[in-house]
Structure 1
């Protein structure tokens, strides 16, 4: 069975999208991230996609470092509290900040671009520019 244009999406972007799905669900339900991840993976049919391990590592990394990640996002989200950010943007920012700080093999511009591209696809018209600004400032701080 042929897939649509999504099949052309690079594996890491698919992984980020899945990580976003889990973080979004957890955020909306105010549920534990790792419990939500376990349930999400449990609902998936076999064979599991090849990009799933990276998605899991993103979710687990965000969960492990959530306080520090949210502290940075709050510090650099000029004019917004993290609670007021759209749920999609908040969780895209969390994934990108995790990659900026803790994933050595992902270059900063790639982490930022990926968050911006997913925001273009999934969030508001203002989200890509807003996320680009926050993440750029955090990347400058981190290095």
Structure 2
């Protein structure tokens, strides 16, 4: 597994935890990093931290995009895994313009298939593609 995929999967895990446990994010992040020290290599940790902190700092804007473009789905009703995968991807759209949107979407779909439900891949693909197209991300 590549460093960026590893970073995305680890970011999903901690963001899922923030969403479910309603714990102090800073303490939880510190404990998570300690418990996953072997996975957070020099190639993984910087991108992981950027994703986690970036999603947290930009969550109102990210969630507004999700609410706008997810037809018939309120963000609160989305599966927790799916919404956090999409939050990561939307953050990449916004702040990592060096990563092509098609790569970001593909990564999100693959992670959705691995961690989500049977329908996660197509749901994630549809919402992210709509955001990419209608918001003008390339």
TM-score (norm 2): 0.91
Map 1:49-128 to 2 at 5 A.
Answer: 49-50=41-42, 51-128=44-121
TM-score (norm 1): 0.88
Change (3 A) 1:97 1:34: farther
Give the conservation status (yes or no) of the 8 Å contact 1:58–1:98. yes
Equivalences, count:
135
Change (3 A) 1:99 1:32: farther
CA distance in 2, matches of 1:115, 1:97: 10
The alpha-carbon deviation at position 48 of structure 1 amounts to 4.0
Q: Which is worse superposed, 27-36 or 124-133?
A: 27-36
Q: Give the one of 22, 26, 35 matched to 2:18.
A: 26
Q: Alignment RMSD, CA only?
A: 1.5
The alpha-carbon deviation at position 32 of structure 1 amounts to 4.3
**Unpaired segments ≥5 residues, structure 1:** 1-8
